[in-house]
Amino acid sequence: MERLLNLPLDDRKARVDWARFEASRFSRIFPDEGADFFGHLFLQSAPRLQAALKECADSWMSVGCSFDRWTMGDRFKQMMRTYRVRLDAPDNQPSLVLDRDFEDREPEPWLAFDMFLSFLLGPYSSELGRCLRCNRYFVNTSGHSNKEYCRQRCASSDSAERAGEEKRLRETEQKRNAIQNALDEIALLPKTRQPRNLASLKKQVASRADKRIASRGGRDFPTITMNYVTRQLNAGRVNIPKLLLKEIQSNKRKRDE
pLDDT digits (tens, 9 = 90+) for 225-245: 999 999 999 999 999 999 998
Distance CA 218, CA 209 (A): 11
Reported pTM: 0.60
- Average of per-residue pLDDT values in the chain: 85
Number of Cβ atoms within 10 Å of the Cβ of 114: 20
Do the Cβ atoms of 40 and 20 come closer than 8 Å?
A: no
What percent of the chain clears pLDDT 90, i.e. is strictly above it? 40
pLDDT digits (tens, 9 = 90+) for 86-118: 787 777 888 777 666 555 545 556 778 888 988
Domain ranges of the chain: 2-125, 163-256
With DSSP H G I counted as helix, E B as strand and the rest as coil, what are the percentages for the chain, rounded to 5?
60, 5, 30
Q: What one-letter code names the amino acid at 134?
A: C
